[in-house]
Structure formats: structure tokens, C-alpha cells
Structure 1
Amino acid sequence: MRVAVGVTVAVCAVTAVLPGAASAEPARGAGTVGARGAGVERVSVASDGTQGDGGSAGGTITSDGRRIAFSSVAQNLTTGSPTTYEKVFVRDRRTNETLRMSTSAPPVQRHPVISGDGEYIAHWGLIQRDTKTFLSQLRSQGTIGINCPGLSCSQPSLSEDGRYLVQVGTSGRPAVRQRIEVQDWHANTTRTVFEFDHTAPSRPSISGDGRFVAYQDGRAQDVFVWDRTDDTSAGPIEGPSEAATLVQLSRDGSKIVYLSGSDTHVQDEASGTDRLVPDARGLAIDPTGRYLLYAPQDPNGPSLVLRDLVTGTDETVSEQPASAGTDAVSTGGRDVVFHSAADDIVPDDTNGTSDVFVRHFY
């Protein structure tokens, strides 16, 4: 049973107030490269370029491609981080500086997401047996605990300026219920988007302006979109006869990516039209909704491919085995973040573990 709730309540646990019908796409061979050139660099390195002495993973990028947040167990990326537990870092590609963001956070930090403007990083923290969401500000490098909707919270998604944060909270031990909440740091309020009487994944994704939240009912396998302006949910967007899994809402709110069977669908929110990308597992979409990062189902082809949904052309992101998450593509598809344990993506990769890379298209 799904219950829509539109009540606004004050956020009390903040320790600081922060500033504010489907049409199939023409089939193309995976890895068909467009006209743009490309290059790649490793970003899970120290400020002086030293490679990490432990594994790094994840990776989310700002809209302009300047900053990348990732998690790592490396001890040598910054000073004062000798412990081997997982920590969150931000790499500034303009200044070549690597900063540790989880300096005062709990002993395990993972799954970071960065705001589109690069000012805020949300990440999970493990406190004993519960997970909590924390928000770090780049300028102050301070970590702030935020209100958690339940005993545990996770799966944060940030608006472009970090003002709005959506997350999932579970209640009960063992967890039996969950709800999705959006917090507004300017108004210092929180709103519950939906409550579920189960804990199957809900995977929320928020638009850049904080108005729309896409989410899924993991038990019913349906995808919905909530509008903060009129407090209503639309869906299931995939229709009543399909099972769907949400991937991501583009930052401009124009496109929503979801999986159904072995295919990826990209729905245009204004027209309701649905673009089919067959035999592909969608992973992320750029802020404008034009460029889709996906993993081809063909095991003999590249592991990651970037598709221009307007022209239908593909560009190879990684030939070697690699993985990527949401918010991994910058505006215009110019940069794509991924992680891989391959040692031949860049020269002198001798650490024998996974690293985070960014592929540039220009």
C-alpha cells in the first residue's frame, strides 16, 4: 500500500543551516565513435598525482565536469587519513587538488553524490548497525548530520545547488517500512513524498531545481514522478503492464531513465514519449537529458558506451571491464566518470586495485 503525504514539518536534527507508446531507436553497433576526440585520466590520486594505495570506486561529477566525488580505502590520497576504512574524497580537476570530505564523519563513508554546482557532497555513514546520511560542504570541508526519516537512511540525491536533498529512511529493526523525504535547507523544512509498507528499493532521484522527484515502488516494480509544486505523483510512467526499475531523472527534469527487461527506456516528461534503447542497461544521463551512459548486453563489446539520443551515435567510454553509477555524466556528455580495476587504462597504473577515471569527449 502506498500512502501519499504532503505535510511539511520542521527539520530538527540539523546542526547547521546551509545556504541556500515506445519508439525504438535505430540500432547502432556499440562503440561506434562519433566525431569528437577523447582522452582519459585517473582521478583517484593525491594532489601531487600519487596513485592510491587502496581501492577506489563510485564517482559522481558536477554539471561542468570540474569536480568529482568518489569513495576510497586508500590511505595516501590526503594527509591525516591513515585508516583503511572507506572515506569520501573530492577531486578538483582545475586545481588538481584532492580533498577528503569525511574528516569528522563515522568510520565508514560510501556512495557519495555531488551537487551540480560542486558545493555539497551527500554520503552514507555507518553508525554501529544503522546508516545515516551526511552532507559535506566543500568550502568549509565540514560534515553535517541531517535529519533521518527512520532508524536508517540512505540513497541521497541532491539538487543542482544542494538546497534540496531527497533520501530514503527505514523504520523498525529489522526494517519493515520506509519513506522518501525531501529536505529544503533554505526553508529548513522536510516533506514526505511517499511511504511504503515494505523495504523493497525505492531509488529516489531529484531534479536540479528540486521540483521533481522520480522514485520506484520496488515491490510493485513501478516508477513514479512526484511534483513538489502541487504535491502529486504521476505514474506508473512505464504503463500498467511492464515492470520497471528507476535509473535516474535528468537534472533539468526533462528525461527519466528506467530499465525494463533487458532494455533501457528514456521517457520525455513533457511529451510522454518513450525512447527505447534495446539490449542495454542504462546507468546515467547527462543534466540535459541528451547523453545516455549505458552498459551493452553484448559481453564481447565495450563495457561502457555513451549514446547521443539526438543523433543516435555511440562513443566508447571503456573497452576494459568497468562500472559507473548515476550522476556520472557532465553537461553535453563532455565527461564520464567510471571505476575499473583494469591496469591499462592509463600509463603507470601499478597499484593492483580499482581506480576512478574520467573520460573526456571534446
Structure 2
Amino acid sequence: MRRNTGRSAVGRVRAALGATALICAVTTALPGAASAAPVPLAGVADSSGSEVERISVAADGTQGDGDSTGGTITTDGRSIAFSSAAKNLTPVAPGTGDRVFVRDRRMNQTTLMSTVTSVIQHPVISGDGQYVALWGLLFRDTKTFLSQVGSASTIGINCSGLSCSRPSLSTDGRYVAQVATFGRPPSRQRIEVRDWHAGTVETVAEFEHTVSARPSVSGDGRFVAYQDGRAEDVFVWDRTDDTSSGPIEGPSKAATLVQISKDGSKVVYLSGSDTYVHDERSGTGQLVPDASGLAIDPTGHHLLYAPHDTSGPSLVLRDLETGYEEVVSNRAASAGTDSVSAGGRDVVFHSAADDIVPGDTNGRSDVFVRRFY
């Protein structure tokens, strides 16, 4: 396995956010109020093939009283995990700052997963909707927590270092890929995979620096795409064969990892002002120019990206096989990894725009999901 320590290019430094996590779970049925009902996407010339729904709604169906951001979605599009500073999304939402919630769209329920005293990183929901991983500051170090949706069960996911961060989950939540950081102040880091069922840990890669390393695991836990921030390289590790391939972008190009598709077939990365979708089977890359890739659906067929051209839509979903594109949002909006359900049917995003759904008067950022028929 290759260990990258030699190249001098400096990647982006990402500071760990300070957040103290107090984990709990409260489930509340949300009535089907008008403010939460799907409506055509505002401003789209032809919205007959899609609808948009606000996810960050209060227990009585009204808008949240605080900013809501992020959003990761299950494979079938049923459940969405997101962060919110709103205090009225469930009856019990103590503390200040962001909390983590899961919305079950089929059951019309919202579950409070955590409360924190400061900002927390965006949560990650497993593909089957059973677990949510999050990370934040616990005393002096960051820690990863895995909570079971619908219960008070919380598992602390240990790592070999002082701090654990940037978790990525397999579809069933069994495998947690994360970054372990060593030293105080931090001086080196390791990417590893925890099988919390078996209680085992496997090392993916080690770096003698703390510049922007992070993993993305496939749905079955076999493949781990990872980034060496200082070398600006992206690799893929096969846990079954214990081999690492890459850099997938080639020897002379700098790259930043976005994510691997859950079926392990595609890896999305950024290079310069462009996005590339690397095919693991053929070794070829598909170029999406002048765009920032944000997420790929579990089947590897649909890419969510943000065009650099700010005169058009802010979020676009592309069918990688046909090239057909659909507008997700033509208002200012953002999205992260794991925000597209299988087949590109649902896309989660957040926006502070007040005309995506009717009656948006809270002046806050809200989380939405757009469904394509």
C-alpha cells in the first residue's frame, strides 16, 4: 500500500469544529401540514417532473425557528439526517447551537438524534436509515458517535488516535471509515476502518502530516476512497485484496476527493476548476468542466454538481450515462456528499431563499428535498 508523504503541494486545511455531543433520541409524529407539503420547485420553467418539500419543519408543521443545514439521505430516499439550530422541530430540543435530526418522510416523523453546545459537523445517515454518525469535541479531542435511529442507543466509535473525525458509513452502518489524529497538538493522522460489530480496526493509510485527509467508504464496506491533502492525491483501497490503487487522477494532477458511490463503481474528485468521475472498472474518467461535484448517487449513475457560472442554476443533477441534466435549485443553495438517493430520484439541499416553498418567512436557512418523478 502506498503511503504519501513526498509531494510538496499543500492541500486545503480543514479545521475540526468544536462541538460537545450529548446524544439522545426523541421521536415525534409530524402532522401533514400545508407548509411541509411538496410543491413545484420555484422558478423552474418546467416543474411538471419534480416537486420540492421542506424537511426542516416544526412538530406542528410550521417552519423551524433556527437555521437548518446539510442533509444526507438514505438509498431509498425515505429518511434524511440534517443539522439544525431550531428548537421547535421536536418537543424536546435542549441546549444551544446545532442539533442533529432525522426525518422519516414515509412515517412523517422527526427524530432528535443529538444536542450540542456548539456547531457540529454535518451528520451522515447509513443507506438503510438505521444509524447516524456524527463527530464533535468531547473534552479536548474530537470523537465519533454512532446512534441508532428510533432508540436511545449510542455507540462511541473509538479510534487509534487521540481524536476521531470525518466518519463515512457503509450501507448497514457496520463499517465506519474515519480519520484518527495523533499528538497534541496534532502532528500525524491515519485513515482507518472500524468494524464495530466485530470490534476490529484496519489501517487504510498513514500520513506524517495533518493536512485534509478524509475517507469515503462503499456501501458494502469493501472499498475506501481517501485523500492525502498535502500530496493532493486520491486513492482507492480494496479491503478484500488489501491493495491500494492510485493516484486515480494521474501522477501530474492535483485532486480533492468528493466521494465514492455506494456500489464502489465511481469515484468523484475535483481538480482545478473541473470535476471528474473516475470509473473503477475501466480506469477512465468522465469530465464535467467548470463545475464543483458535490455528490454521486449510490448506483454511480447521477452526479450532483454546482456550476461555477453563477448566472444559472446553483445545483444541477446530471445523468452520467445520457448527459441529461435537471435543475435541482435555481436559487442560491448548497449540498454535500450522500445527498442523492438511488437513481437520482431525490436530492437534499439547503438554502436561505424564501421562495422555494410558500410561506417561508423565518429568514433562516432550511433543508429541502427535491423529488424527480
2:66 aligns with 54
Choose from 153, 166, 169 the match for 1:142: 153
- State whether structure 2 residue 92 is matched by structure 1 residue 77: no
Residues 242, 36 of structure 1: alpha-carbon distance in 2 compared, 3 angstrom cutoff? farther
State the Cα distance separating 1:82 from its structure 2 match.
Answer: 3.2
Q: Confirm or deny: 8 A CA contact 1:304 1:316 kept in the other structure.
A: yes
Alignment partner of 2:214: what SS?
coil
1:10 aligns with none
After TM superposition, the structure 1 = structure 2 runs for residues 79-158 of structure 1, keeping only pairs within 5 Å, are 79-102=91-114, 109-158=120-169
Q: More deviation in 66-75 or 48-57?
A: 48-57
1:283 aligns with 294
Q: Confirm or deny: 8 A CA contact 2:44 2:330 kept in the other structure.
A: no
1:97 and 1:139 map into 2 onto residues whose CA distance is 10
Aligned amino acid, residue 276 of structure 1: L
Q: Confirm or deny: 8 A CA contact 2:177 2:216 kept in the other structure.
A: yes
1:312 and 1:141 map into 2 onto residues whose CA distance is 44
Aligned length: 335
State the Cα distance separating 1:35 from its structure 2 match.
Answer: 10
Alignment partner of 2:202: what SS?
strand
2:254 and 2:119 map into 1 onto residues whose CA distance is 34
Residues 32, 50 of structure 1: alpha-carbon distance in 2 compared, 3 angstrom cutoff? closer
Deviations 1:89-131 (A, max 9, x none): 000000111110115x776543100000000000012223321
2:340 and 2:90 map into 1 onto residues whose CA distance is 25
Q: What's the TM-score, normalizing by structure 2? A: 0.86
Q: Confirm or deny: 8 A CA contact 2:96 2:118 kept in the other structure.
A: no
Q: Confirm or deny: 8 A CA contact 1:259 1:265 kept in the other structure.
A: yes
- State whether structure 2 residue 209 is matched by structure 1 residue 198: yes
Deviations 1:158-204 (A, max 9, x none): 00111100000111122110101101123221111111000111220
Alignment partner of 1:101: what SS?
strand
Choose from 253, 257, 262 the match for 1:246: 257
Choose from 303, 313, 323 the match for 1:312: 323
Q: Higher relative contact order at CA 8 Å, sep ≥6: structure 1 or structure 2? A: 1
Q: Confirm or deny: 8 A CA contact 2:56 2:367 kept in the other structure.
A: yes
Residues 322, 361 of structure 1: alpha-carbon distance in 2 compared, 3 angstrom cutoff? same
Alignment partner of 1:312: what SS?
coil
State the Cα distance separating 1:345 from its structure 2 match.
Answer: 0.6
Alignment partner of 1:219: what SS?
coil
1:11 aligns with none
State the Cα distance separating 1:143 from its structure 2 match.
Answer: 2.1
1:214 aligns with 225
Q: Confirm or deny: 8 A CA contact 2:220 2:263 kept in the other structure.
A: yes
Give 5+ residue unaligned stretches, structure 1.
5-30
Aligned amino acid, residue 342 of structure 1: A
2:305 and 2:216 map into 1 onto residues whose CA distance is 18
1:236 and 1:248 map into 2 onto residues whose CA distance is 15
Deviations 1:297-319 (A, max 9, x none): 10101000000011101100001
Give 5+ residue unaligned stretches, structure 2.
5-42
Q: Confirm or deny: 8 A CA contact 2:158 2:164 kept in the other structure.
A: no
2:182 aligns with 171
Q: Confirm or deny: 8 A CA contact 1:34 1:314 kept in the other structure.
A: no
Q: Confirm or deny: 8 A CA contact 2:134 2:144 kept in the other structure.
A: yes
Alignment partner of 1:339: what SS?
strand
Q: Confirm or deny: 8 A CA contact 1:2 1:196 kept in the other structure.
A: no
1:206 and 1:138 map into 2 onto residues whose CA distance is 20
1:309 and 1:34 map into 2 onto residues whose CA distance is 21
State the Cα distance separating 1:231 from its structure 2 match.
Answer: 1.2
1:357 and 1:238 map into 2 onto residues whose CA distance is 33
1:189 and 1:350 map into 2 onto residues whose CA distance is 49
1:108 and 1:297 map into 2 onto residues whose CA distance is 28
Q: Confirm or deny: 8 A CA contact 2:157 2:196 kept in the other structure.
A: no
2:242 aligns with 231
Q: Confirm or deny: 8 A CA contact 1:107 1:126 kept in the other structure.
A: no
Q: More deviation in 115-124 or 35-44?
A: 35-44
Q: More deviation in 151-160 or 31-40?
A: 31-40
Q: Confirm or deny: 8 A CA contact 1:337 1:356 kept in the other structure.
A: yes
Aligned amino acid, residue 48 of structure 1: D
Q: What's the TM-score, normalizing by structure 1? A: 0.89
